[in-house]
Structure 1
Amino acid sequence: MIHKEITSYFKENYTNLPTLIKAPGRINLIGEHTDYNEGLVLPASIEKGIYFAVSGNDQSNILIETFLTQPEKIVFQLNGDHKKFEAFWGNYFKAIIEILVAREYPLKGMDCVFGGDIPIGSGLSSSAALCCGFIYAITKISGKEISREDIALIAQEAEHKIGLNCGLMDQYAVLFGKKGNAFFLDCKDLSHNYIPINLEGYSWVLINSNIKHNLAVDSEYNKRRVSCENIVKQVQKYKPEITSLREVTLEDITKVEEDVNNIDAQRAKYVIEENDRVRKMMKVLVEGDAKAVGGVLNEGHWAMSKQYEITTSELDALVKIGESLDGVLGSRMMGGGFGGCTINLMKTDKLDTSIKSVLEQYKEQTTIDAEYYHLAIDDGVKVFE
């Protein structure tokens, strides 16, 4: 178990006994690219996560080692100065420390060893887990609490600093998740509540296409956001009270269609309809209607493929394969897009044969070996006992 390896390494190499923090990854049942449009999302935190073993030190620095990809050590000064580093994760920590220094947060010296079992680039929001877990760990050492709401905002600001203009869904899911429940979040006012996931006889499985994505490097994510903003600006010409796509209707888009780019209009329609899919998913989950849940998953995937154009041919192939199998009720690409995983609802009594069929057919069609992960819904960021 990775958390035992991290704890053991810390005990062998540092003087103090560590506090162990777990920051989970997250899935999203439905509601992709709605968060930055003040829309609706339905994520959940999962059992896989990133673990931080931390303790205070008497130095004026934060020393960090990772097991995440390859062993590497970075030292950050408490005033925000740092030496050059190669690790991609260092950019996130650098941004977080700079934000905390600017806010005059009382940083204290800290030793930190971290690693985890979230596959990088798979759409499980490893970056949000990295940022939220690190900030939470800092509060445990520095002794000054930061509310979970503020941790989410700091983590979001850090992602913005390195080039990804994300919304708040990932951070809220990582921080506020609850075992056995989906987390409904209204991104307009940040109100939220829990929706029990109780589909007896069915299992959630992630299938990793092994097409890696890096949204901060790939500008396609930000291009989608600009499309949505373009529509809002056009609608504001006759509805000046509108502040986001959340308040725009399909009728509004029809009125401005002649004055906007066709692709922008298509993308805006997707977001409005995706909000409706979130509402529908909550309803059928509460009703325990597994077949309907699967239908919403499939509908959401093909909307992402045809309207928002954020899937890949490999992800489309995974969903098509699932549609041909009796044991798969529904699946869709999950995450920002352009790679990563599909989330699949499968009959538990046909689980092994369904997974085997998907992996074999995917390999035949793409020559790529996919991976699968059984899903368990877990709590948000916490001290791990």
Structure 2
Amino acid sequence: MIDKTIASYFIENYGNDPILIKAPGRINLIGEHTDYNEGLVLPASIEKGIYFAVSNNNDDTIRIETFLTQPEKIEFKLNGNHEKFESFWGNYFKAIIEILVAKNYPIKGIDCVFGGDIPIGSGLSSSAALCCGFIYAVTKISGQDILREEIALIAQEAEHKIGLNCGLMDQYAVLFGKKGNAFFLDCKDLSHNYIPINLEGFSWVLVNSNIKHNLAVDSEYNKRRISCENIVKKVQKYRPEITSLRDVTLEDVKKVSNVADATDCKRAKYVIEENDRVRKMIKALTNGDAQEVGNVLRQGHWAMSTQYEITTSELDALVKIGENLDGVLGSRMMGGGFGGCTINLMLTEKLDASIKSMLKQYKEQTGIDAEYYHLAIDDGVKVFE
């Protein structure tokens, strides 16, 4: 188990018994690219995660080692100076420390070893787990409790500092997740509640296309955010009270279509309709209607493919394969886009055969070996015993 490996390595190399923090990855059942439009989302935290072994040290230094990709170590001085590093994840920690210092949080020197079992770049929000877990760990070591809502905002600010203008869905899902439940979040006022997932006889499976994405580098994410903002500006000319796509209607988009870019209109329609798919998914889960859950998944995928244009040919192939398997009720790409995984609802009694057939056909069509992961819905960030 990765948690035991990390804890044992910490004890061997740093001589202390660490506090062990677990920050889960997250799935999103439905509600893609709606969060930064003050829309509706339905994520859930999962069993896979990132583990942080942390302890105080007597230096004015934060030392961090990882097993996440390859063994690497970086150091930060609490006076703001740090040694050069090459790791992509070092940028997240640098941003977090700078934010905490700017906010006058009392930070102590700490030693930290982390690693996990979230596949990087697969749409499971490893970056949110990284940021939220590390901030939570720092607060535990420093003895300065920070509300989870504040941790979410700091983690979001860190992502913004390194170039990804994300919303708050990932952070809230990672921090507030509850075992056995989806997490309904209204990104306009951050109100939330839990939706029990009671689909007996069905299983959630993630299939990794092994097409990697890096949203912080790929500007396509930010281009779509700009498209949404462009439509809001057009609508505001006759509805000045509008502040986001959340309150824009399809009729509004139709009214401005003669003066707005056609691509911007298409993307805005996707977001408005995706909010409605979140409502449909909540109703389907509440009613235990697995068939409708599958329908909403499929509808969401093809809208991402044709309207928001954030899927890939490989992800489309996975969904099409699933549509022709009687053990798969529905599939869709999950995450920011341009790679990663599909989330699939499958009949448990046909699970093994469905997975085997899906992976075989995907290999035949693309030449790529896909991977799969059984999903278990788990709790949010916590001290791990």
**TM-score range normalised by the length of the shorter chain:** over 0.9
Aligned residue in 1 for 2:337: 337
RMSD over aligned CA atoms reads 0.4
Deviation at 1:40, TM superposition (A): 0.1
Equivalent residues in 2 for 1:97-108, closer than 5 Å: 97-108=97-108
Q: Give the match's secondary structure for 1:283.
A: helix
How high is the TM-score relative to the length of structure 2? 1.00
Aligned letter for 2:81? D
Gaps of at least 5 residues in structure 2 are: none
* In 1: Cα distance, 2:169 partner to 2:304 partner: 18
Q: 4+ residue stretches of structure 1 with deviation over 6 A?
A: none
* In 2: Cα distance, 1:10 partner to 1:255 partner: 61
* In 2: Cα distance, 1:107 partner to 1:289 partner: 49
1:215 aligns with 2:215: yes
Aligned letter for 2:278? V
Deviation per CA, 1:54-110, whole angstroms, max 9, x where unpaired? 000000010000000000010111122211000000000000000001011100010
Aligned residue in 1 for 2:350: 350
* In 1: Cα distance, 2:150 partner to 2:91 partner: 20
Aligned letter for 1:171? Q
Deviation at 1:368, TM superposition (A): 0.1
Equivalent residues in 2 for 1:57-96, closer than 5 Å: 57-96=57-96
Aligned residue in 2 for 1:328: 328
Aligned letter for 1:8? S
Q: Give the match's secondary structure for 2:294.
A: helix
Aligned letter for 1:340? G
* In 2: Cα distance, 1:132 partner to 1:319 partner: 31
Q: Give the match's secondary structure for 1:379.
A: coil
How high is the TM-score relative to the length of structure 1? 1.00
Aligned residue in 2 for 1:373: 373
Deviation at 1:15, TM superposition (A): 2.1
Aligned residue in 2 for 1:280: 280
* In 2: Cα distance, 1:10 partner to 1:201 partner: 41
Aligned residue in 2 for 1:23: 23
Q: Give the match's secondary structure for 1:49.
A: strand
* In 2: Cα distance, 1:22 partner to 1:155 partner: 16
User: Do 1:38 and 1:187's aligned partners in 2 also have CA atoms closer than 8 Å?
Assistant: yes
* In 2: Cα distance, 1:135 partner to 1:80 partner: 17
Gaps of at least 5 residues in structure 1 are: none
Aligned residue in 2 for 1:307: 307
Aligned residue in 2 for 1:42: 42
User: Do 1:80 and 1:94's aligned partners in 2 also have CA atoms closer than 8 Å?
Assistant: no
Equivalent residues in 2 for 1:56-205, closer than 5 Å: 56-205=56-205
Deviation per CA, 1:138-168, whole angstroms, max 9, x where unpaired? 0010001110000000000000000000000
Aligned residue in 1 for 2:55: 55
Deviation per CA, 1:304-331, whole angstroms, max 9, x where unpaired? 0000000000000000000000000000
User: Do 1:21 and 1:52's aligned partners in 2 also have CA atoms closer than 8 Å?
Assistant: yes
Deviation per CA, 1:350-377, whole angstroms, max 9, x where unpaired? 0000000000000000000000000000
User: Do 1:253 and 1:265's aligned partners in 2 also have CA atoms closer than 8 Å?
Assistant: yes
Deviation per CA, 1:188-209, whole angstroms, max 9, x where unpaired? 0000000000100000000000
Aligned residue in 2 for 1:271: 271
Deviation per CA, 1:229-250, whole angstroms, max 9, x where unpaired? 0000000000001000001000
Q: Give the match's secondary structure for 1:43.
A: strand
User: Do 1:79 and 1:101's aligned partners in 2 also have CA atoms closer than 8 Å?
Assistant: no
* In 2: Cα distance, 1:310 partner to 1:255 partner: 26
* In 1: Cα distance, 2:15 partner to 2:296 partner: 52
* In 1: Cα distance, 2:199 partner to 2:208 partner: 23
Aligned letter for 1:198? N
* In 2: Cα distance, 1:183 partner to 1:202 partner: 19
Aligned letter for 2:350? K
Aligned letter for 1:173? A
Deviation per CA, 1:236-266, whole angstroms, max 9, x where unpaired? 0000010000010000011100000000000
Q: Give the match's secondary structure for 1:259.
A: coil
**Number of aligned residues:** 385
* In 1: Cα distance, 2:267 partner to 2:291 partner: 27
* In 2: Cα distance, 1:105 partner to 1:82 partner: 18
Q: Give the match's secondary structure for 1:213.
A: coil
* In 2: Cα distance, 1:218 partner to 1:167 partner: 16
Q: Give the match's secondary structure for 2:257.
A: helix
User: Do 1:128 and 1:174's aligned partners in 2 also have CA atoms closer than 8 Å?
Assistant: yes
Q: Give the match's secondary structure for 1:108.
A: coil
Deviation at 1:136, TM superposition (A): 0.1
Aligned letter for 1:284? A
1:251 aligns with 2:251: yes
* In 2: Cα distance, 1:15 partner to 1:355 partner: 44
* In 2: Cα distance, 1:79 partner to 1:136 partner: 21
* In 2: Cα distance, 1:134 partner to 1:323 partner: 40
